């Protein structure tokens, strides 16, 4: 099988939804052929654009021309195609394993992320025009990077952002679950005993924060944790 046909077989394997492993038959195996196959595997598995792929020396996998070699390239199903990526390579000749090993390639990949369309000041309320999506190197993105701008629209910034800077969840002001003066449900728990009451919030509080409340008919303020529904839980 020619390299062109082998490459077509590689494409068909991915198009059929079978990412692991990728197999192809080639009539000879030099560095150029193997690198091309490795790059194709990485680019097709990566969820976003790949800016560069660095392949280390692979002399041990190069073989002279014979009737045909079966080449299998695979990675762990959970392996992200970014940073240092180990790939398993097996080369067989009519069912007999000729070469088998792991090579680690360096992959610089990108993701479509939300960035500031212009310089934004702390406290600004975000509009759709303030944000845009651009490919960003994975190395520049933290765990709380944002892929979709819509949930951020209408929220306030907790810090300034320069134009082009990726937007993160930590940059967004979280709206209070309870605001000062709101009427809130209070749940007092002590072992198996539970008492429900109604009170008034003495300040703003977000989910998970401690809120001081004053129950109706009492001048004493108590503290409890606010849940996502705005209920205040007091444990004794």
Contact 23, 72 (CB under 8 A): yes
Tens-digit pLDDT profile for residues 150-161: 989 988 998 999
For 85-134, the DSSP string reads: EEEEEEEEETTEEEEEEEEEEEEEEEEEEEEESS-B-TTPBP-GGGEEEE
Pull the structure tokens for residue 53.
């792929």
Q: How far is residue 177's CA from residue 185's CA, in Å, rounded to a whole number?
A: 12
Instruction: Note whether 72 and 130 are same-domain residues.
Output: no
Task: Tell me: cis bond preceding 68? Omega within 30 of 0 counts.
Answer: no
pLDDT of 220 higher than 70: yes
Q: What pLDDT, on a 0 to 100 scale, did the predictor assign at position 5?
A: 42
Q: Count the domains in the chain.
A: 3
Is 177 a domain residue? Answer: no
User: Among 8-12, 25-29, 155-159, which stretch is predicted with the lowest mean pLDDT?
Assistant: 8-12
DSSP at 39: H
- What is the domain extent for residue 93? 3-107
pTM to 2 decimals? 0.48
Query: Is the same domain home to 70 and 92?
Result: yes
> What is the domain-level CATH number for residue 227?
2.30.30.760
What residue has token string 């944002």? 146
């Amino acid at each position: 099988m020619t390299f062109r046909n082998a490459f077509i077989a590689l494409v068909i394997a991915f198009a059929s939804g079978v990412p692991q492993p990728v197999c192809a038959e080639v009539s000879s195996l030099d560095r150029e052929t193997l690198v091309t196959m490795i790059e194709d595997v990485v680019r097709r598995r990566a969820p976003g654009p790949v800016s560069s792929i660095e392949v280390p020396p692979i002399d041990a996998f190069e073989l002279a021309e014979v009737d045909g070699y079966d080449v299998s390239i695979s990675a762990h199903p959970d392996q992200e195609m970014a940073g240092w990526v180990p790939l398993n390579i097996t080369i067989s000749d009519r069912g007999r394993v000729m070469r088998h090993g792991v090579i680690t390639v360096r992959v610089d990949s990108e993701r479509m992320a939300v960035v500031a369309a212009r310089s934004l000041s702390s406290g600004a309320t975000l509009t759709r025009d303030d944000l845009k999506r651009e490919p960003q190197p994975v190395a520049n993105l933290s765990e709380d990077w944002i892929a979709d701008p819509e949930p951020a629209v209408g929220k306030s910034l907790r810090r300034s952002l320069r134009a082009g800077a990726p937007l993160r969840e930590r940059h967004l002001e979280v709206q209070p679950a309870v605001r000062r003066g709101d009427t809130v449900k209070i749940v007092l728990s002590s072992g198996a005993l539970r008492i429900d009451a109604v009170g008034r919030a003495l300040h703003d509080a977000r989910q998970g924060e401690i809120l001081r409340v004053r129950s109706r008919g009492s001048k004493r303020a108590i503290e409890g944790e606010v849940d996502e529904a705005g209920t205040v839980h007091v444990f004794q």
